[in-house]
Structure 1
């Protein structure tokens, strides 16, 4: 933020000596009506605080997927025809003291199945388990096909019925899919709808997760059978994330205490420190109230935005407090000091917050609703900081002032630091030190760029990467993966034909070829589709002869086989037989696995799609994630281009010098490169959770350049040498730049201990970017200025230097704002 030479501001001790009509019009409007400003803010706090109490925490499956991505469009267009390939839960019930044929276990399984079946939001027609009649067996006998539900009618737990159940499981071939490979557990497959059929409201994932945990806890302690319930699926991930948000409030409190400690250790003034924190908290309260009033919800991805807004607010508030404290230390009246600070910093602070907002607003370009909601929520928060920290805070400080002891201490510290601890930073304005700093930065940047080339898109770990590896969810996922041959990572290719077209020989053969081709790809466990069932039923029709284990060209045979298959597996195709999925079960959903499957499926679809039949990507959990990765990969590049373009434009408007823009932006570029290298070193991939981090780091990090360069350029244009100008910038804002960097870093570092892994990752990355942006600004700005801005004063000429000095005096008198001087 910009500040002109404080020594040029006359120290007015009595209000009667101050001209209330001086200063820009907006300043007069604010400070000549201070009481009205405070009353308006109090009313806004009451109204928005009431709305904040209505804010809900939730998440929606559809908000996490890119709706305009071609694969997702294919999925949404055919969603009603693809049963069980969207949002679903897989719930495994394990018998801890026996196998699944224990009558007590089966009774417990029945009760669990019934409770899940009646849970709001469940697609009941497609629930599958040993107790559901849709899970059937088929067998070829001398009389032909026979079959029935896997669970025997009137099952009573007798040895006869138990043996019959064992035979039916073998006949149905659900070993490894609905029954564990060790026969100690079985699975309940629970597909979910987007909305509750009774109320029409979106599913409350927090309530659903609570209900699942209640079922888990009750049956773990039930008498008769000791069972352990393991749950995986998007809804459970979101539920665990929402539960973890409650713990995040503790970290918010810790961050506030750390920020208060840093600010107080700097100022030693209780009243001003309290006001800085209070105004930042008011901004957060207003933000939450507006978000609720506009009908938005907080989700696991946007919950961190209020914490970030608080940290930004504290950093800007510290700058205002520092300016007022310096003026009061020189004997200026507290109201005059507040007006001086407002006069110096409002327009530059507005520019800095605009740069912050750019880092958020550019996220609107990403075609993922959850990130767009984050962008809107964050932009609202940054806009409100203009009112709370640039307007309300100086007004409040004009009433309370700051501690005179603290102000005197700050003045003495400033006078003693003329050649003190910050003296060594001035050396970077010298050629030898500047060359060294740039050379080291270049080496670090090249090394970071080489490492960043290994940055992956998507998840790099099995299970839910949003949660810790030791979380209950990931432990459940590891168990299910080890005990079941079919994973929950399904990649489905949609085969679309005219009505009854999926029964045609050519369509079945092409689909079968696709399945065989995908089975050859590393990471694909197996494939399941209608041709597999048709082949087996055809062989069964001819007394089980292996000669008939093929897809017959006879249409009557195909019709019979397909209709028989649909009896036990209705999800094989839709009612019109115009849409059927070819499902590939993947070993994991890592980025490399998805890339291989997508590349192969795309190539096949391109070569084999015809007007009669189309192969459309993609459905299933892995298919949706693959589409999301594609959007993230594209957005990762375009997002950075736009955010840097916007920051460059703002810097050029502020500095009116392309050389100054380069000096300001180069440290940001270096930090972005190193951030990507850090992601590689820590095993992080670029995904929905981490994508916004770099954009936020750039938008917020440019503040440091605005703090330092504006003052440095102003002094150079007034005739000072580069060393003198940079020394002046360090004296008046260099310490505050360091304070801002430490405050921002401390505010987000606490996230590293979050139980939610992606929030911890965001905390680590943002902390790194804030610190490196600060260090880069303090070291690289003087070094780059030596080569690019060393002749600002001589280039403008002596006459312009005199004009700048005269302009500084007019600023002190209140005739023009400080930013006008900075851009002259």
Structure 2
């Protein structure tokens, strides 16, 4: 290296550029290893990763999971008779075949499988001689007209209408409980984890497609957590197509920006390497891709492109004055490495704050995004300038940058008026009005889901159509909240416990949003009524312990083996946030009065119970995470610029974006939930890049003695185009998600597109206006 190259160079610059072949060789070796790892990344998720494991509701559910048969992870398969009803030989034979087929699918808890063909589904009636009962489908069933009539009578006496059998007798349900681990059929000593995508595909191929094709009079509907997650994972394939689309659009825009194919390909290559490194590291650390973390490669690609653009823009500007490509690359590295590093560290810190949220998928997203930012430091801040030092930039691009630098820019001259003494107060006033308006409308923002069905999927998705069918045709909805009544052994059968359960059920059935409730008290009342000739006056609890013991013996599914835990099933109209809050508050109010040392009412199991716990965690985490991300980013800016005024200039536009983002979510009916909560940290963490790049250039011109408006004009001429292009590239990369079949990805895409564009607007429009009031150029020159 010539002497003048090293003049004023930092240790890192000398280390990198004095050893360029070694840098490229090292990156190539890392790429080979991580490319191999990335090729093995597979879509995966689990039930536990989607829920807040440390929340008391979830702790209670997991502690008593073995006592809550069929109330955990399960699916419901509804087999519909398109013409006629279920009481036909063909329909019942198809139902039997489906029941048997499901029985042998991996991951099914066979002991809890329930349908009309299950021996555990029985009927009971009161006769002159006492109780009579038996299996709903008797051993003598042969499909004859007499057998079908007997089946009809048994169904009417079974109490399963509205539960396993539709209210209109046109369909019936197979309840399929699942286990997270199950024995490998080929090696009984090995346990396999439930693969949700594989399970979903087996249900589609072995059940829905097979039997709908086999019997045109049958239509299959499937709902449940496992099916929903399987559909979400399938949506990942479409997301990969969106990545290809974003890559193509970025290629065109990059060439339009640089007018140099060499530098365009260099930026795309190093950024693609960053994405693959991130995926390789993800697999190396034992993580897979779930429907949430699949979005991280998009973010890494977008962030990498944005910093690559800044690098190429800087090198092109320096190339006009440098003697060769190496000198230009070194000068640009010297000027832009620290602002780029600080911006990326701010991104990483913003992502790390997501670890505060006790939900596995969000924490994995945080880890994946942080690793992605770390590799961008190596690929786009170091490898890219080294690559350009060999390839160089086309003369056409250099001449264009030189011409733009030396000529007047009417557009940037007009934009620089945002720093004008007259315009700046108007901009700040408009921003304050936007803050007030955003805070006022943002009060309508809700925590949790705001739509019925599976809000992660579009309303017209097959899953939501299946869910709508089951809600309309059955009395027990798919949204179940379970209250666990815990007592000492044999304590669930005593009168005081059953009386307290009865009072809870009465209270909840009179709560808005509750459809119905079921518990061992429901069975006890029915049995006691039956033992008294079916007289409705006797449909109540008896104080005689022997009668109670006999009554609950017919409802063994509604308490555990030693009668120390009895679940109360609360069927809700929906799982909207307001409904869950209302029901949970009613239960908490009740437990404050009825809990004793020997009897506890514990929340909560069931999908609605999990949803309620998740909402609580998100509600508690939202403000904490938002404060943490702003505190972290502010500290990074403060350490960089060593000025509170400079930090405020960078951070306040981000605050405005967050406030307007909340108002937009409220307007669009998007709740704060697992899918949308990370958007807050991502928007702030990435959005700070604009402000850092703009202010670092603005400060350098102010130190040279330029007035604020003139310094801002020079800033825009040197980096304004890159910032504008960066915002557009970031927005385009995530805007493709809006067309995803997965609704929460579409919501995230919409919100991130808004935040990336508005952060760019805020940095260009509001930052200079704030600088007019906060920055003292004379002090900067003296410093």
Q: C-alpha distance in 2, partners of 1:788/1:760?
A: 39
**Aligned: 1:588 with 2:574:** yes
On the 8 A contact 1:21/1:28 being kept in 2, the answer is no
Aligned to 1:7: none
Q: Which residue of 1 aligns with 2:187?
A: none
**Does 1:709 pair with 2:709?**
no
Q: Where has structure 1 moved over 3 Å in runs of 4 or more?
A: 15-22
Match of 2:340 among 346, 349, 369: 349
Within a 5 Å distance, the mapping from 1:172-571 to structure 2 comes to 172-198=158-184, 199-214=190-205, 215-223=207-215, 226-416=217-407, 418-566=408-556, 570=557
Partner Cα separation in structure 1 for residue 457 and residue 390 of structure 2: 48
C-alpha displacement at 1:111, in angstroms? 0.7
Select which of 723, 730, 737 maps to 1:737: 723
Provide the residue aligned with 2:53 in structure 1: 67
SS at match of 1:132: coil
Secondary structure of the residue that 2:140 maps to in structure 1?
coil
Q: Deviations over 1:637-656 (max 9, x none)?
A: 11100000001101111111
Q: TM-score, normalised by structure 2?
A: 0.98
The residue correspondences of 1:424-823 to structure 2 (distance < 5 A) are 424-566=414-556, 570=557, 572-789=558-775, 791-793=776-778, 795=779, 800=782
**Structure 1 residue 715 displacement after superposition:** 2.2
- The SS at the match of 2:553 is helix
The offset of 1:142, in angstroms, is 2.1
Contact 1:177 1:486 in 2 (8 A): yes
Tell whether the 8 Å contact from 1:316 to 1:349 is kept in structure 2 after alignment: yes
What does residue 815 of structure 1 align with? none
Report Cα offsets for 1:25-78 as digits up to 9, x if no partner: 111111111111111111111111111122120111111110111111111111
Asked if 1 retains the 8 angstrom alpha-carbon contact of 2:103 and 2:113, the reply is yes
Structure 1 CA distance, aligned partners of 2:321 and 2:703?
26
Deviates more, 1:442-451 or 1:325-334: 325-334
More moved, 475-484 vs 718-727: 718-727
Deviations 1:435-461 (A, max 9, x none): 111111111221111111000011111
Superposed displacement of residue 221, structure 1: 1.0
Q: Distance in 1 between matches of 2:34 and 2:549?
A: 64
Question: Where do residues 151-190 of structure 1 align in structure 2 (5 Å cutoff)?
Answer: 151-190=137-176
Deviation of the 1:22 alpha carbon: 5.2
State which drifts further: 694-703 or 15-24: 15-24
CA-CA distance at 1:21 after TM superposition: 6.5
Report the secondary structure of 1:177's partner residue.
coil
Contact 2:52/2:613 (CA < 8 Å) preserved in 1?
yes
Contact (CA 8 Å) 1:498, 1:612: kept in 2 or not? Answer: yes
Q: Secondary structure in 1 aligned to 2:337? A: helix
Unaligned residue ranges in structure 1 (runs of 5+): 1-14, 801-823
TM-score by length of 1: 0.93
Distance 1:41 1:522 in 2: 61
The answer to whether the aligner puts 1:126 opposite 2:117 as a matched pair is no
**Shift, 1:143, TM fit:** 2.1
Do the aligned partners of 2:737 and 2:749 also contact (CA within 8 Å) in 1?
A: yes
Distance 2:664 2:192 in 1: 42
2: CA distance between counterparts of 1:332 and 1:626?
A: 65
Q: Report the CA distance between 1:383 and its aligned residue.
A: 0.5
Once the two structures are superposed, residues 196-230 of structure 1 have per-residue CA deviations (whole angstroms, 9 ceiling, x without a partner) of 2334232100100110110211111104x521100
8 Å contact kept, 1:69–1:627 = yes
* CA displacement at 1:562 relative to structure 2: 1.3
Whole-angstrom distance in 1 between the partners of 2:5 and 2:649 = 39
Q: Report the secondary structure of 1:763's partner residue.
A: helix
Partner SS state of residue 278, structure 2: helix
Q: Distance in 1 between matches of 2:66 and 2:429?
A: 60
Point out the more displaced range, 705-714 or 455-464: 705-714
Residues 34-183 of structure 1: matches in 2 within 5 Å? Answer: 34-183=20-169
Deviation at 1:796, TM superposition (A): 5.2
Q: For residue 200 of structure 1, give the secondary structure of its aligned residue in structure 2.
A: strand
Closer, same or farther: CA 249–577 of 1 in aligned 2, 3 Å: same
Taking only aligned residues, the RMSD between alpha carbons, in angstroms, comes to: 1.3
CA contact (8 A) 1:537 1:565 kept: no
Contact 2:353 2:629 in 1 (8 A): yes
Paired residues of 1:18 and 1:336 also in contact (CA < 8 A): no
Structure 1 window deviating more from structure 2 (716-725 vs 735-744): it is 716-725
* SS across alignment from 1:68: coil
